Structure 1
Amino acid sequence: MFGTSGVRGRVGSDVTADLALDIARALATDADRVVVGRDVRDSGRALVDALCAGLTECGADVIDVGTASTPTIARAIGSRDADAGVAVTASHNPPQDNGIKLWTPSGQAFDETQLAAIERRVDSEVTPFADWDGHGDRTRWDGAADAHRRTLLEVGRRRAAAAGVELDGFHAVVDVGNGTGGITADVLHELGATVETLNAQPDGRFPGRPSEPTAEACTGLIAHVAARGADLGIAHDGDADRMMAVDDTGRFRSGDELLTVFALQAVAAGDRVAAPVDTSLAVDDALAARGASVVRTRVGDAYVADRTREEGVVFGGEPSGAWIFPTETRCPDGPLAAVALAVLAADRPLSERADELPTYPIRREAIETTRTEATMAAVTERVRESYDDVTGIDGVRVEVDDGWFLIRASGTQPLIRVTAEARDPETADRIRSTARSFVVDAIADLDDSTTTDSDADE
């Protein structure tokens, strides 16, 4: 039921009001008060109503924060003294999708143990209905976004004071992506920056650009930053848990570069940074120069956030744009990351910070298949037959003499993701080609097997 980011999929088939009702009833077993909110997708209205119905009929009180960013919803759990939170969102997925993600009071997403408990309760079909006079209340709280904004203002002022900078005269462009990340523009403006926005009208169809803030999707932001001579460009996805950036020269900076910039600001000698298995070796090399190191996790913000609970892990991040500041919250908070990056860029331009980092060519590719589980099983078998040293923490990761590759199933979409890295482009391309062939051949063999079985049936 649950992937790396909760339930996510096509509305009406994978994600339905029935499913939301079942999850809510299961959640109410352990939660007496639950915060519920949604992103801008219109399909979220029915899902929120189903969630609230399931929770209240099982005796849980619901605090409905309406349309809000995922970090706003996650932060509201602790401030409202709730036991859990539910964000109805498909994050960066296309508009026909939606999803359900569960959050703890610390701001961290439910871990595998907690999600497994929810699944067992749903599968058992035993519902803890309340008595006729024991239904919970559903109340609306319209102050969640304002509370989030005030918190970010405090963080921004504190960080600016520590760096000895002000944002007066700082010029930022914020591409909201038609989602819920408008709070970033508000906070940067209140901190003194000159702010321009792109795609700021909330619209769950995401007409301005695809929701995922990739370099290809953010060509408008890149052009605008360059044309306007801005100091920084910020891009969010639909629910604003992600943040990517364009520097003062109009260059889109990779997630590995941003991860390194954030990490170098956070670490001292002996500290560690949590990052997933698809993170560039350049991050390791940059931190090693400071006497710090990287601890690898499975892909997914919940896994990264969980490692930040360990002593000495001071920051966590994913190259996809999810950043975990554990002293603030264990929810990936895109507006928080934007404020932190603006302060860094006001102190020293992002272009200068990123240009001095080691960079190695890294290749990423997504291959579509509706049979991800079977494909990964076949890929894993073939890779283990071909290599002795295979890491299986998340998919299969192989270290070769001149680089590495990773093959893993997406936790949110019907894709197999291939990542390869080396210290020169030709080698990176060669390693990627090798890794890709494992996936393509596995899919072809599965297709042939299906065709043969079908012919035999006839």
Structure 2
Amino acid sequence: MHPRAGQQARPEDLVDLDALLGAYDQRRPDMGDPAQRVVFGTSGHRGSSLDGAFNESHILAIAQSVAEYRASQGIDGPLFIGRDTHGLSEPAFRTTLEVLIANGVEVMIDSRDGFTPTPAVSHAILTHNRTNSRQADGVLITPSHNPPRDGGIKYNPPSGGPAGSDATAAIAARANQLIEGGLADVKRVSFDKAQAEAGRFDFLSAYIDDLPSVLDLDLIRDAGVRIGADPLGGAAVAYWGEVANRHRLNLTVVNDAVDPRWAFMPLDADGKIRMDCSSPSAMANLIGMMQGGSAYDVAFGNDADADRHGIVTPDGGLMNPNHFLAAAIAYLFANRPGWGADVAVGKTLVSSSMIDRVVAGLGRRLLEVPVGFKHFVPGLLDGSVGFGGEESAGASFLRRDGSVWSTDKDGLLLCLLAAEIQARTGQSASQLYAGLTDRYGAPAYARIDAPADRAQKARLAALSPADVTAQTLAGQPIVDIMTKASGNGEAIGGLKVVTADAWFAARPSGTEDVYKIYAESFLGPDHLAQVQGEAKQVVGAALAG
């Protein structure tokens, strides 16, 4: 923990915007450095122009590659493009638009020339594709909750959610080829021409006016739930006020500042500015506001592209994301009669097994998938999965009639769900979770890192269950060893070991020389520590073997 975690950022903590933007235009990537090549992770390509990892060359190549990819797939409808408030998002947006228009793509940009949350783009794609044979797709210019020095770009195909690995691998490979070829095959027009030829779409109205199809906003309004909303300087900044006005909710935007340096943010746990709405350090301002006789029944925050949620209650402070996922699932499946009896619950395999117990209590089917929201897309799209959530505070769920709402993470949706829970039950979401622990037990959950070099990380990602020789974990027999997710049979890129009351999962980091150990125990913190210690031994033995 950084000594100033949770404290206001100082001038020396802020990014130099002139240097950041200058590097975007002027710096050329060294393609011999793996860190400067185009690499699509679970949420697109991210990096900083200051590191040669997110520069104009990258965006020119990625945009050209996207244009070629969608043409190869027969996607000939409009492409919806949104951007967040990061400093690099504006120049990357301009570059992307110049290339897409030059390639003859019908691009739809925000009619208000504003910032666009990720879920609003997913919603726009799906709404268009519901009634049009010419299928739409989208591009998001955002590094999500990453620090102000970073930029990001991701592609959403006609399914509306994050692209699968086949698509992202093809897009990244072609983009790197284009950069290595000196960008000779990249088509481009001036920004003035691109802006003049782009279509306009009112993302804000389309999204906000459709919210009653997925949430009971009348109930929230009639119950008089007092809501405080903090966009954390992100793309939801214009949305929350309109949600309040159009649906007549007692909702106050407690912070409407937009600053690409994020000077108003407290430092995160590691001392960096990071708009992580699941972090108590980053959310210190909102947590403090809710203490000592708050004027609000519930408050919440979002990250920069509003695909994540952070829920703060007067009685519980900032809810652990796993706790809110469990509470949301318990509430939704008891209060959505339009969802069929066979509709499943989706979770990532590193999310709390409290969800497993709640789902079993509901008599529902659990779909456990690898890390990455893309794994929920098929089920949310066809309505067979009612809720998909991941431990990093990202989730979405179906409309009230059981049809698809969004196939990307929707932070605004989950925040408003906390208000609906308060309105219907008279309890906060944290009180609802406390009731679940009375019934199912109270788990202790944590994530730690352990050192691993590149070769060890590759070995970890390729392990099979047979590589684990241990029979017990923290005093209990091992009942399952997984290298593929039970929900869809996809490789998890690591290992999960399960006992009756505990589990751990180990996955290599994509950016650091470490692997991540997620662990949980229903036998208390001391047992969790024992699980974590033995997890390192189990993984170490498997890597050595």
Which deviates more from structure 2 when the two are superposed, residues 232-241 or residues 6-15? 6-15
The reply to whether residue 108 of structure 1 matches residue 161 of structure 2 is: yes
TM-score between both structures, scaled by the size of structure 1:
0.85
In structure 2, what residue type is equivalent to 1:421?
Answer: E
Instruction: Tell me, yes or no, if the aligned pair for 2:297 and 2:313 is still in contact at 8 Å.
Output: yes
In structure 1, what residue type is equivalent to 2:447?
Answer: R
Name the SS for the 1:193 alignment partner: coil
Counterpart-to-counterpart distance in 2, 1:169 and 1:288? 34
1:223 maps to which residue? 288
Tell me which of 109, 128, 152 is aligned to 1:99.
Answer: 152
In structure 2, what residue type is equivalent to 1:70?
Answer: T
Counterpart-to-counterpart distance in 2, 1:361 and 1:341? 23
1:212 maps to which residue? 276
How do 1:40-439 and structure 2 match up within 5 A?
Answer: 40-65=85-110, 66=113, 67-78=115-126, 83-123=136-176, 125=178, 138-139=197-198, 141=200, 143-152=202-211, 155-156=214-215, 159-161=216-218, 166-167=221-222, 169-182=224-237, 183-207=239-263, 208-209=265-266, 210-213=274-277, 214-227=279-292, 228-267=294-333, 270-309=342-381, 312-326=384-398, 327-348=404-425, 349-350=427-428, 351-358=430-437, 359-366=442-449, 371=453, 374-377=456-459, 384-387=467-470, 389-393=480-484, 394=492, 395-400=494-499, 402-410=501-509, 416-424=515-523, 425-436=525-536
Which deviates more from structure 2 when the two are superposed, residues 35-44 or residues 218-227? 218-227
Structure 2 residues without counterparts, runs of 5 or longer: 1-38, 130-134, 267-273, 334-339, 399-403, 472-479, 485-491
2:21 maps to which residue? none
Q: Once the 2 structures are TM-superposed, how far is the Cα of residue 130 of structure 1 from its aligned partner?
A: 7.4
Q: Once the 2 structures are TM-superposed, how far is the Cα of residue 373 of structure 1 from its aligned partner?
A: 6.4
Q: 1:366 to 1:219 in 2, by over 3 A?
A: farther
In structure 2, what residue type is equivalent to 1:417?
Answer: K
Q: 1:18 to 1:291 in 2, by over 3 A?
A: same
Q: 1:11 to 1:285 in 2, by over 3 A?
A: same
Counterpart-to-counterpart distance in 2, 1:239 and 1:115? 20
In structure 2, what residue type is equivalent to 1:434?
Answer: E
Q: 1:368 to 1:322 in 2, by over 3 A?
A: farther
Counterpart-to-counterpart distance in 2, 1:311 and 1:38? 28
TM-score between both structures, scaled by the size of structure 2:
0.72
RMSD after superposition: 3.2
Counterpart-to-counterpart distance in 2, 1:52 and 1:105? 19
2:49 maps to which residue? 11
Counterpart-to-counterpart distance in 2, 1:92 and 1:342? 23
Q: 1:179 to 1:160 in 2, by over 3 A?
A: closer
| CA offset digits 1:175-223 (Å, max 9, x no partner) | 2111112213431454333333344212222232330111232122122
| CA offset digits 1:311-335 (Å, max 9, x no partner) | 6421111121111224211121111
Q: 1:374 to 1:7 in 2, by over 3 A?
A: farther
In structure 2, what residue type is equivalent to 1:220?
Answer: N
| CA offset digits 1:386-437 (Å, max 9, x no partner) | 4475312322111145411011134577763221111122111111123346
| CA offset digits 1:275-303 (Å, max 9, x no partner) | 10111111111121111132111111111
1:2 maps to which residue? 40
Counterpart-to-counterpart distance in 2, 1:49 and 1:123? 20
Q: 1:391 to 1:138 in 2, by over 3 A?
A: farther
Q: 1:97 to 1:168 in 2, by over 3 A?
A: same
Structure 1 residues without counterparts, runs of 5 or longer: 446-458
Q: 1:438 to 1:18 in 2, by over 3 A?
A: farther
1:452 maps to which residue? none
Q: Which runs of 4+ in 1 moved over 6 A?
A: 126-132, 438-443
Counterpart-to-counterpart distance in 2, 1:11 and 1:130? 22
